[in-house]
Amino acid sequence: MRGVKGVRNALWVSTRVERTDDEIKSDIRDRFESDSWINGRLINIDVEDGAVALSGAVGSLRERNRARLDAMVTGVRFVDDKDLAVKPSLRVPERGRAYPVRNPEQVIRAITDAFRDDPRVSRFHLNVDMPALGVVVLSGIVDTPEARRAAVQDAENTVGVSRVKNKIAVRPPDAPSDAQLANTIRNALRGDPYLRGSQITISVNNGVVYLSGTADRPDMIDRINEIVSRIDGVVDINYDIEKEHHQSSLSIEEEKRSRVILSPSPYCLPKAP
């Protein structure tokens, strides 16, 4: 929010589900094996009283971030990845090349496990079907576009999936009026210091949000989508936002994209002290 100079995260995760360390370790290992973006065979997992320590090596910072997210299964209090080294020579090759073929039952089970452990999705009852090899169909009902997008992302990141057909519907439980929703979105965007310089016009029709205007940087659009998709009552988002071509750094944009999986969210946990 505008005016905030820093945030000190002293939150700890208190889970209502009691699980043994062996159960947690087994779940994390399964998540690593099902994630097409990392080579879990190079990562060591230690669990003590719900505290997870990862060690070994990965090929990039993105892979280390991904491993940290995968380790946040039900029952985990925090994840420490400081001993997980980044070695570029170990970068995972093109997606799918290094992984064995999985049958539909294995793929569907991996996706449903990912849904169960993803706090953005776990409270919804979503259906997973695999009518053809590599093709996954998702259906069901969620209450925000963010949850729908998270479900698709979980499926796309699963080994054995080459295409996802998204049939998930968004139905907010207590939908506000279009005017109320537009006002909420307007206030949320104005209060984000990252969006200074953007000129966005907002209109809403039956929960569908229409955004138009200009943004100083391409990554502003990602930020706008992140904010709007989390607001209760939003069914879908349509964009007509022009990107003003100011001087930019490709390295910054690439870094930004590599950190997309780290968007502050229910996934954020503090590291071990």
**What pLDDT score does 67 carry?**
92
Q: Are strands 208-215 and 199-205 parallel, antiparallel or unpaired?
A: antiparallel
Specify the amino acid at residue 273: P
Q: If pLDDT is split at 50, 70 and 90, which confidence band does 256 have?
A: very low
Domain parsing of the chain, residue ranges: 21-95, 104-170, 178-258
- Which of 7, 10, 8, 6 shows the shortest CA–CA distance to 273? 10
Specify the amino acid at residue 224: I
Q: Does domain 21-95 have CATH number 3.30.1340?
A: yes
3-state secondary structure of 5: coil
DSSP letters, 116-174, are HH-TTTTTS-EEEEEEETTEEEEEEEESSHHHHHHHHHHHHTBTT-SEEEEEEEE--TT
Q: Does domain 104-170 have CATH number 3.30.1340.30?
A: yes
**What pLDDT score does 111 carry?**
93
Judged against a pLDDT cut of 90, whether residue 128 lies above it is answered with yes
**What pLDDT score does 261 carry?**
35
Mean pLDDT of the chain: 80
Q: Which CATH architecture has domain 178-258?
A: 2-Layer Sandwich (3.30)
Q: Do domains 104-170 and 178-258 have the same CATH topology?
A: yes
> pLDDT (tens digit, 9 = 90+) per residue, 35-82?
878 888 889 999 999 899 999 998 888 888 889 988 988 888 889 999
DSSP letters, 5-39, are -----------SS---HHHHHHHHHHHHHHBTTS-
Positive or negative torsion for Cα 98, 99, 101, 107: negative
The mean-pLDDT minimum among 1-5, 20-24, 95-99 falls in 95-99
Phi, psi of 93 (to 5 degrees): -70, -175
Read off the pLDDT of each residue in 149-175 and give the average, rounded to a whole number: 88
Q: If pLDDT is split at 50, 70 and 90, which confidence band does 12 have?
A: low
Per cent of the chain over pLDDT 90 is 29
| β-bridge mates for residue 139, sequence order | 127, 167
**What pLDDT score does 243 carry?**
62
Phi, psi of 109 (to 5 degrees): -65, -40
> pLDDT (tens digit, 9 = 90+) per residue, 137-158?
999 999 888 899 999 989 988 8
**What pLDDT score does 166 carry?**
95
Positive or negative torsion for Cα 57, 58, 62, 67: negative
> pLDDT (tens digit, 9 = 90+) per residue, 178-236?
999 999 999 998 888 888 777 889 999 988 999 988 877 777 888 888 899 888 888 88
Phi, psi of 29 (to 5 degrees): -60, -40
- Which of 33, 124, 104, 44 shows the shortest CA–CA distance to 80? 44
> pLDDT (tens digit, 9 = 90+) per residue, 89-104?
776 554 444 455 678 9
What is the 3-state composition of the chain as percent helix, strand, coil, each rounded to the nearest 5?
A: 35, 25, 40
- Which of 32, 93, 104 shows the shortest CA–CA distance to 59? 93
